Structure 1
Amino acid sequence: MNMLSDWFAEHGWIEVVWLTIGFLAQAMFSARFLVQWIASEKVRKSIVPEAFWYFSAGGGAMLLAYAIYRQDPVFILGQAFGLMVYARNIYFIWSERRAGEPGHES
């Protein structure tokens, strides 16, 4: 237990908060693969469910925040680009749903 208290004394609570955000972000980001795998197994073909894009966006946004805190330009650029892709796919999902609503047909 002394090692843990020494680590806290050296790094402080802000580091604990950011490490927690980083680990939660990575868990959320990784969960999207579990969601995709389960959905594909159910129908016995490769599909990408809507939840995949929400986990991608949530995990990607949190990882971007973590990368900015860490001041890692490679990680920042990678996550920022990924967020654009996730946002675009969510936009397509919402647009398709809206187009199917009464009064929005083309």
Structure 2
Amino acid sequence: MDQLLNWFYTVFIENFDFWMLFGLAAQAMFMMRFVVQWMASERVGRSIVPIAFWFFSIAGGVMLFVYGVIKKEPIIILGQGLGLVIYFRNLWLIFKEKRRDPTI
């Protein structure tokens, strides 16, 4: 049990710095996309993906990508890098569709 407590202390207390705080804020931003999607779906009674989902995805993805670069975490860099391409593409498709049909 002491080893586990020491591990948590090292990871969350000794290593605490600006970048950990930034990473936590990035993760919170990224998580908000699920909260927004859930609330919007509950409001209409079916699963939907509001446009705010994609904006939170981009904000959280950019922040997590920066965090990955600063911390030299290749898994985060690759995962968020690909995710950002997908998020921007989805926004592009949404805005393209809205230009064709402004009632959407």
TM bucket (normalised to shorter chain) is 0.7 to 0.9
Query: C-alpha offsets along residues 2-46 of structure 1, whole Å, 9 cap, x if unaligned?
Result: xxxxx7xx87xxx73212221111011001111000111111111
Instruction: State the identity %.
Output: 49
Larger of the two Rg values belongs to structure: 1
Give the structure-1-normalised TM-score: 0.77
| Aligned equivalents of 2:46, 2:90: Cα separation in 1 | 20
Give the structure-2-normalised TM-score: 0.78
Please, which runs of 5 or more residues in structure 1 have no aligned partner?
1-6, 102-106
The aligned residue for residue 4 of structure 2 is none
Once the 2 structures are TM-superposed, how far is the Cα of residue 100 of structure 1 from its aligned partner?
A: 3.3
Please, which runs of 5 or more residues in structure 2 have no aligned partner?
1-12
- Provide the aligned C-alpha RMSD in A: 2.0
2:70 matches 1:69: yes
The aligned residue for residue 4 of structure 1 is none
What amino acid does structure 2 have at the position aligned with 1:68? V
Query: C-alpha offsets along residues 21-78 of structure 1, whole Å, 9 cap, x if unaligned?
Result: 2111101100111100011111111110000000001000000000011111111100
| Aligned equivalents of 1:17, 1:91: Cα separation in 2 | 33
The aligned residue for residue 44 of structure 1 is 45
